[in-house]
Amino acid sequence: MAERSRLAILISGRGSNMAALIYASRADDCCFEVALVSGDRPAAPGLALAEAEGIDVLKLDAKTLGPSFWTELSEALEKAEIDFIALAGFMRIIPDEFVARWEGRLVNIHPSLLPKYKGLGTYDACLAAGDIVSGATVHLVSPDLDGGEILDQVEVAVLPGDNAESLADRILIAEHQLYARVLEQYLGRTRDFDWIAGRVGQLALALPETRSKTSHGSPGWKVGSPSSDKFFAIMWNNHHGEGGIAVLVKCSGQDEMAQLIEAEPETYFRPAYYGPSDWIGIRLDRPKVDWDHVASWLRRSWLAMAPARLTKLLRAADEF
């Protein structure tokens, strides 16, 4: 089974969204596991619930800790090897450095159809405006409050006679479904062949004189003039149950391949289908892919396969 993303959830209160994520993560094929629950208030009722569900809980008191709250939290997230953070009713302004450190890996759920009604008081604002539809939004967290990229939303009808409490209760039901679904989709990209191939393609096509070409039905990338071009990268999709989703690139030979596979068997493999060639597989359907590392492998493979007139140019540019 593919590795699951390790999710941390930060809460301040009752933690019903947290509970929804914990229960969603119990599905056999869920792409995330809740590896840590923490927050800023040790008395938050959600923490007791998470403990009862057997989740690792870190109780921090932001009031007594002051600025070291963020240091302690960051250390715990690192120690627990967290890949992604979901805020669920976490009522604290997050410092910009923390947001920057977790860019693209920190999401929040907000009870309105953003960009409408940021901050607190969303239900009253919606009712006062006479809206007939409200809802909830899951968004990436950016330095600007409730302003990050919207990942998805769900609409909830406002009923005649609704007050803030009745509207909040109904939106909460929608939140519980939305949050788990968005995380499944967003984190699930790390197991999705088309998404991974798209990302490899962007890196491969950024190299000079490259084009896409399928190889045995799999996306691949070639370098050189159309009459004499050569593959320098080919996608691999769990061929005969081997390697998961990977990209094949050229390494320097059998010795290097053996060393790499021995040092990092979870990353590298020998694609048996290609026989004793210098193609090495780099596994990519994992939550922690280092894309800079993939880019440098593509470049190396490009250098190995590109005609001398191109490699000279790139090497000259490097020395410059």
Q: Are strands 32-39 and 57-58 parallel, antiparallel or unpaired?
A: parallel
Return the DSSP state at 270: -
In the region spanning residues 14 to 43, those forming contacts with ligand GRF, defined by CB under 6 A, are: 14-18
Minimum CB separation from ligand GRF for residue 126, in Å? 13
* Residue 277 main-chain phi, psi, to 5 deg: -105, 180
**Count of chain residues binding ligand GRF (CB under 6 A):** 15
Distance from C-alpha of 26 to C-alpha of 53, rounded to nearest angstrom = 11
CB-based contact 104:140 (threshold 8 Å):
yes
109 binds ligand GRF (CB under 6 A): yes
The yes or no reply on residue 281 touching ligand GRF (CB under 6 A) is no
SS3 124: helix
Check if the beta carbon of residue 136 is closer than 8 Å to that of residue 122.
no
Residue 143 has φ and ψ, to the nearest 5°, of -60, -20
Binding mask 160-199 for ligand GRF (x = CB under 6 A): ------------x--x------------------------
| Gap between the Cα atoms of 136 and 126, Å rounded | 12
The nearer residue to ligand GRF, 23 or 273, going by C-beta atoms, is 23
Span near ligand GRF by CB under 6 A; candidates 49-57, 106-114, 158-166, 227-235: 106-114
Check residue 153 for interaction with ligand GRF (CB under 6 A): no
With contacts defined by CB under 6 A, name the span among 8-16, 50-58, 72-80, 237-245 that binds ligand GRF: 8-16
Stretch that binds ligand GRF, among 109-117, 138-146, 156-164, 271-279 (CB under 6 A): 109-117
Active site residue 110: yes
Q: Counting contacts by CB under 6 A, is residue 250 touching ligand GRF?
A: no
Residue 86 touches ligand GRF, criterion: CB under 6 A: no
Q: Which helix (H) or strand (E) holds 36?
A: strand 32-39
Using the rule CB under 6 A, which residue among 77, 85, 88, 294 binds ligand GRF?
Answer: 88
The CB-side HSE value for 116 (13 A sphere, CA atoms) comes to 18
H-type helices in the chain, by residue range?
16-24, 45-52, 62-65, 68-79, 96-101, 122-129, 164-188, 193-205, 254-263, 291-305, 308-319
Q: Cα(73)–Cα(67) distance, rounded to whole angstroms?
A: 11
Q: Which residue is nearest to ligand GRF (CB)?
A: 89
Closest separation between CB of residue 19 and ligand GRF, Å? 8
Applying CB under 6 A, the span of 7-15, 148-156, 189-197, 209-217 interacting with ligand GRF comes to: 7-15
Nearer to ligand GRF, 35 or 156 (CB): 156
CB 109 within 8 A of CB 17: yes
One residue of 41, 47, 55, 111 binding ligand GRF per CB under 6 A: 111
Please tell me what DSSP assigns to residue 191.
G
110 binds ligand GRF (CB under 6 A): yes
For ligand GRF, the binding residues (CB under 6 A) are 11, 13-18, 46, 88-89, 109-111, 172, 175
Question: Which residues are the active-site residues?
Answer: 110
